[in-house]
Amino acid sequence: MIYLRQIYEIMMRELLILRQNHIYRFCMVLFPLLVIVFFTSILDDGVPTSMPVGVVDLDNTSMTRSLTRRLDAFQISRVVAHYPSMSEAREAIQRNEIYGFLYIPKGTTDKLLAKRQPKISYYYSNTTLAAGSMVMKDMKTISTLGSAAVGQATMRARGFTPQQTQALLQPIKIDLHQIANPWSSYNVYLTTVMVPGLIMLFIFLISSYSLGTELKFVTSKKWLELADNNIVIALTGKFLPQTLIWLAIIFSYEYYVFFHLGFPHLGSPWMLVLIALMQVLASQGFGIFAFGLMPSLRMSMSISSLWAVLSISMAGSAFPIMGMDGALQSLSWLFPLRHYWMMYQICIFNGFPLIEAWFHFAALTAFMLLPWLVMNKIKNAMLTYVYIP
């Protein structure tokens, strides 16, 4: 009973601290909300549309013009300019005016009609990877369609049915099923790792910060006194209000993204609750551990921020872990975001049972228990250390 009383006292004290220091307001509420709004609004299109491409049409016949028109009609590409020569189109790419261009040499139509197999080409820049590969897809389709149009006309003349013509032009077709993300929306794919990753960064930082400032503002002894020098009570009381705030932020993120914006979530809604809980507790565990490892405000915060920024790459959502070197594949286990993301994509995105993500569940639990290892060191630091800038 006395423990509950102590925890209550420390919680009230913590709430007061959270209210007095403005930085908490910013980092626990304002910035996370800003990050959520940023990613969901910048990626709102889902798939980039109307990306500028150019055309170098040296042939300029009705056939090539119809090719250009069809390219323009695609959702992803928009023909913004015609260039008189190849080098001018290349310079336009270098000036960031277009992402790629279609090159149609002189005499294409003549050769096509004379069955001399003319060659057109399309150029795209890979320095902007997403844009480049998307306009490439469109220009490739257009080039194939150009072939098909000629073939179609010949075959119709020979008396094939439309079905047979289709089969002759493309004997084998691919029936694509994009499971859970049929729009191949980048919003679904990026927001769900970037936002949790940045919220984790804030949890790491604030956890180390709130412990370190006890030393900096010389309030640590009073804090421990309230808990009768029982570090478990002291930590519980201190971090419980923060946990609740973080949970509120993450639940509102999940509500906004999965229910308002309708991101795919095939698992049960309880899984969202579970993963939010795991995320907050594991990150707090890491933040406290970082401080316990080096009980200095500056060092623990540096570790937290460097680790959190790295974890966005090491989550393996953009560039997959299996494409990295072996050593990095093992190192990825040390990043809470990696396990969070795996759990998300197995249990929520794809809706498989939790047992398939048991390893990542266990790893996140291990992160929650990390403070246990450094508990005594933190107590010692709080009672004896002096803040060094």
Partner 1 sequence: MSIFHNFYIGLQNACYIWRKEMQQVFKDEGVLMFFIVVPLAYPLLYSWIYNNEVVRDVPVCVVDESHSALSRQFIRMCDASPDVKVAYYAQDIDEAKSLVSRQLVKGVYLIPSSFTADTYGLRQGTISVYCDMSLMLTYKAIFQTAQVVSMEMGSELTKKLGGHYTARDEAVAARPLDYDDVPIFSPSGGYGSSILPVVLILILQQTLVLGIGLSAGTARDENPYRNLIPLGDKRYEDTLPIVLGKSLCYLMVFAIMGTWLVVIVPRLFNFPHLATWQSLLAVMTPYTLACIFFGIVMSCMVKYRENVMLLVVFISVPLLFMTGVSWPQSNIPGYWQGVSWLFPSTFGARAYVRINSMGATLSDVQTEYHILWLQAGVYFLLACVVYRFQVYRSRIQAKERLDFLRHKRAQTFQNNSAD
Q: At its nearest, how many Å lie between partner 1 and the CB of residue 50? A: 7
Binding range to partner 1, per CB under 8 A, among 1-9, 91-99, 272-280, 377-385:
91-99
DSSP H or E segment with residue 52: strand 51-57
Q: At its nearest, how many Å lie between partner 1 and the CB of residue 113? A: 10
Strand order in the sheet with 51-57: 77-82, 51-57, 100-104
Please select the residue that binds partner 1; options are 1, 2, 20, 41, rule is CB under 8 A. 41
Position 231 contacts partner 1 (CB under 8 A): no
Please select the residue that binds partner 1; options are 85, 170, 252, 330, rule is CB under 8 A. 170
Whether 51 and 69 have beta carbons less than 8 Å apart is answered as: no
**What's the rounded Cα separation, in Å, for the pair 278 and 267?**
16
Please select the residue that binds partner 1; options are 215, 250, 346, 378, rule is CB under 8 A. 346
Please select the residue that binds partner 1; options are 7, 10, 93, 276, rule is CB under 8 A. 93
Rank residues 220 and 345 by Cβ distance to partner 1 and give the closer one. 345
**What's the rounded Cα separation, in Å, for the pair 303 and 209?**
12
By CB under 8 A, the count of residues binding partner 1 is 117
Residue type, 332: S
Long-range contacts formed by 180-183: CB under 8 A, 24+ apart: 180/264, 180/266, 180/349, 180/350, 180/351, 181/264, 181/349, 183/46, 183/47
**What's the rounded Cα separation, in Å, for the pair 386 and 389?**
10
**What's the rounded Cα separation, in Å, for the pair 74 and 135?**
10
Q: What is the DSSP letter of 18?
A: H
Please select the residue that binds partner 1; options are 66, 75, 121, 384, rule is CB under 8 A. 121
Cβ-based burial of 260 (10 A; exposed 0-12, middle 13-18, buried ≥19) = exposed
What contacts 102, CB < 8 A, 6 or more positions away? 53, 54, 55, 56, 57, 67, 68, 71, 120, 121, 122, 139, 142, 143
Please select the residue that binds partner 1; options are 18, 58, 180, 293, rule is CB under 8 A. 180
Q: At its nearest, how many Å lie between partner 1 and the CB of residue 187? A: 10
Structure tokens at 185: 């929306």
Residue whose tokens read 């170098």? 56
Position 178 contacts partner 1 (CB under 8 A): yes
Position 350 contacts partner 1 (CB under 8 A): yes
Rank residues 4 and 179 by Cβ distance to partner 1 and give the closer one. 179
Position 236 contacts partner 1 (CB under 8 A): no
Rank residues 160 and 251 by Cβ distance to partner 1 and give the closer one. 160
**What's the rounded Cα separation, in Å, for the pair 194 and 42?**
12
Structure tokens at 377: 């060191």
Binding range to partner 1, per CB under 8 A, among 23-31, 239-247, 283-291, 374-382:
23-31
Q: At its nearest, how many Å lie between partner 1 and the CB of residue 150? A: 4
Position 315 contacts partner 1 (CB under 8 A): no
Position 131 contacts partner 1 (CB under 8 A): yes
Binding range to partner 1, per CB under 8 A, among 130-138, 222-230, 280-288, 363-371:
130-138
Position 73 contacts partner 1 (CB under 8 A): no
Position 50 contacts partner 1 (CB under 8 A): yes
Binding range to partner 1, per CB under 8 A, among 238-246, 278-286, 351-359, 369-377:
351-359
Binding range to partner 1, per CB under 8 A, among 9-17, 242-250, 314-322, 374-382:
314-322
Query: Interaction with partner 1 in 284-303: which residues (CB under 8 A)?
Result: 297-298, 301-302
Structure tokens at 234: 């002291």
Q: How many residues does the chain have?
A: 389
Query: Interaction with partner 1 in 316-335: which residues (CB under 8 A)?
Result: 316-320, 322-325, 328
